[in-house]
Structure 1
Amino acid sequence: MMDMVKTQLAIGAYAFVAWIVLYLLISTILRMWSRTSHLSKYHRAQVTESFVSGVQGVACAVVGIATVSACRHDVMGAKYPLSLYYSSIGTAYFIYDLWAMFMSHYPKKAYVGPISFLMSYFKKNILMVLHHIAIIFVLFPSLVYYSSMGDFFCGCFFCTELSTPFVNARVILSRLGLKNSKLYVVNGLVMLTVFAMCRVALFPLMYAAYLSQQTIAPSHIQALLSVPLRCHLSCLVVLAPQIYWLNLMVKGAMAVLRKDASSLVDKDD
C-alpha cells in the first residue's frame, strides 16, 4: 500500500511540474504569435489556461473512454491500472488549475490591496474553486482509494472532461476576435450537446449500468440504498455545478439564436 501511495505521489508531483511547464511554454508561444500580440496580459493568461485545460480534457477523456470500454463487462469489479495512474495526473492538474485561474484573474485586479484582491478572486470564482477542491479532496480519493467499486465509474467521471476542449475553444475563439464567426457558433452548439451528454446525462446512465448488472438486491431501490452514501454525495457534488453551467450555456445559446433571428428579420425588412 505504501509503495502504491509513493508511486502515486511521485506521478502527481511530476505531473504538476509538467502542467506548469506546459502553461509557461504556451504562454511564451502566445507572446511571440502576432495574432495574440494585441491581447492584454489578462486575456493572454486566459487563452493560455484554456489551451492547457483543453489538453487535459482530451487526455482525461481518452483515459475515461479506454477505462469504460475495458471495464463495462463488470462495472463493480473490473480494474484498469491506467485510471489509477491518471487519477494522480488529474489531481495534479486541478491543483495547478487553481494557480492558473489565479494568474488569469490577477493582472486585471493587480491595482487593489492583497486582501481585497483575494476577496474579489474568491467572490468571482467561488463555484469553480469549490468544484476543484471537491474533486481534489473528495472525488478522486473516494473513487480511487476508498471505493470497493470497479474502475468503470472512475472512467465515467473521466469522460465528463470530453466537453472541456469545446468549452475552452469558445474562450480562445472569443479572445482571437472570432466571436461572430460561424466557427464560434458551431463550436458552441457542439459544446452544449457534448456537455449535456457527458456532464449531465452520463450520471443516470452510470446508475443504469450499475443496476443492469446488480443481481444481489431484490429491487433497484434496495440496490441503490446499498451503495455507500459517499458515492451518492460525490455524484451530487460533481453534478450540481454541471446543471448550473448547462443552464447558463442554454441561456447563452438562446440569446445567440434570438440575435441571429432578429438579424435575419432586419435584413428582410
Structure 2
Amino acid sequence: MLSALVCGALVFPGLFCSSRKVLKSTFTQWSDADVVCVSERLVSAIHASLATAAGVTVMTSCRDVMADSHWLVNAFVLFGVPYMVFDIYAMYLSHYHTQKLKGHSSSYSGHSLQTVKAFLIKDSMLVLHHMALLLIFMPITLFFRRGLGDFFIGCLFTTEFSTPFVSIGKILIQLGLDNTRLHRINGIIVLLSFFTCRILLFPFMYWMYGRQFGIPLHRVVFHLPLQCNVGNLVLLAPQIYWFILLLRKANRLYLRQRKGPARKD
C-alpha cells in the first residue's frame, strides 16, 4: 500500500505544476492568482472524479454492507492523503496571490506567518475539513474498522461527485462566462449533486444498513453505536452549512441576473 501513498505524492503536485505551466503559457494575460486558482480547481476536480469512481466501484462490489471488503478502499485512502496535504498548500497559494493582486502589497510582499494566519482565518472551514480527514477519517479507515463497512467508506468517497461541477463553475467565472447559460446550468447541477451526494447520502446509508438487517429506517439510529451516529453528524453538519452557502450564492446570482445590467440615461 506504500506505493499508493507514493503515487499520490507524485501525481497531484505534478498535475498542479504542469497545469500552472500550461495555463501561464496559454493565457498570457492571466495573473499568477488566475493561474494558481484555476490549477488548484483542475486538480481538485481530477481528485474528486477519481474518488467518485472509486466509491461507485466499491459500492457496487459490496453485497453485504458490513462484511464485504474491497482492496480499493485502503488503497484510495492512502492515495488521497498526499492530495489533502497538497490541497491545503494550493489553497494557501491561491489565497496569497489573490490578496496580493488586490493590492495588499504591504502584507503580501512575501510569505510570512501573517499571510498564513490570514489564510487560516479566511478558509478555516475547508482547512478544518481537510485536517479532520487526515487526522480522524484516515486512521479510522485504515486501522480501527477491523475490515468492516467498506460499502459505507465507498459511499463517503462519492460525496466528491459535486466537486468537479463546483470547480467548473469557478473556472467559468475565471473565463468571464459567469453570465452564460452554461454557467447557470452548471449551477443547477452543483445544487442537485451536492444535495444528493452530500446530504441525502446519509439517510441512504442508514436505509441500506436497515435493509441489510431488516430494521425500519427510523429505528436504525438506535441500533448503531453512539460513536457512529456522532461521526455521521460531524460529517453531515459542514455539508449542510456549505449547501446553505451555495443556496445563498445561487439566490444572489438569480437576483442579479433578474435585475439585469444597469441602464444608462
Structure-2 change in CA distance of 1:39 and 1:233 (3 Å): farther
Whether contact under 8 Å (1:166, 1:187) holds in the other structure is: yes
Q: Which moved more, 1:141-150 or 1:162-171?
A: 141-150
SS in 1 for 2:22: helix
Question: Counterpart in 2 of 1:169?
Answer: 168
Q: How big is the shift at 1:181?
A: 1.2
Q: How big is the shift at 1:244?
A: 0.8
Q: CA RMSD in A?
A: 2.1
Give the letter for the 2:49 counterpart: V
CA distance in 2, matches of 1:49, 1:219: 40
Question: Counterpart in 2 of 1:3?
Answer: none
Is 1:92 equivalent to 2:82 in the alignment? yes
SS in 1 for 2:260: helix
CA distance in 1, matches of 2:8, 2:216: 45
Structure-2 change in CA distance of 1:220 and 1:26 (3 Å): same
CA distance in 1, matches of 2:216, 2:119: 50
Structure-2 change in CA distance of 1:219 and 1:203 (3 Å): closer
Question: Counterpart in 2 of 1:19?
Answer: 12
Whether contact under 8 Å (1:60, 1:161) holds in the other structure is: yes
CA distance in 2, matches of 1:139, 1:46: 27
CA distance in 2, matches of 1:123, 1:88: 28
SS in 2 for 1:145: helix
Structure 2: stretches of 5+ with no match in the other structure:
101-107
Structure-2 change in CA distance of 1:90 and 1:23 (3 Å): same
Q: Which moved more, 1:115-124 or 1:160-169?
A: 115-124
Give the letter for the 1:252 counterpart: K
Give the letter for the 2:58 counterpart: T
Q: How big is the shift at 1:88?
A: 0.7
Whether contact under 8 Å (1:142, 1:230) holds in the other structure is: no
Question: Counterpart in 2 of 1:116?
Answer: 114
Q: How big is the shift at 1:212?
A: 1.4
Question: Counterpart in 2 of 1:235?
Answer: 232
Cα displacement string for residues 192-214 of structure 1 (whole angstroms, at most 9, x for unaligned residues): 11011001110111111111112
Cα displacement string for residues 211-254 of structure 1 (whole angstroms, at most 9, x for unaligned residues): 11125x89964x53453444333322322111111001111112
Q: How big is the shift at 1:114?
A: 1.6
Whether contact under 8 Å (2:92, 2:116) holds in the other structure is: no
CA distance in 2, matches of 1:193, 1:218: 27
CA distance in 2, matches of 1:218, 1:243: 25
SS in 2 for 1:165: helix
Whether contact under 8 Å (2:20, 2:36) holds in the other structure is: yes
Give the letter for the 2:124 counterpart: I
For this pair of structures, how many residues does the alignment match?
Answer: 253
Q: Which one of the candidate residues 65, 68, 75 is aligned to 1:78?
A: 68
Whether contact under 8 Å (2:37, 2:94) holds in the other structure is: yes
TM-score, with normalisation over the residues of structure 1?
0.87
Give the letter for the 1:150 counterpart: G
SS in 2 for 1:101: helix
Give the letter for the 1:20 counterpart: P
Question: Counterpart in 1 of 2:137?
Answer: 139
CA distance in 1, matches of 2:115, 2:157: 33
Whether contact under 8 Å (1:211, 1:220) holds in the other structure is: no
Whether contact under 8 Å (1:139, 1:234) holds in the other structure is: no
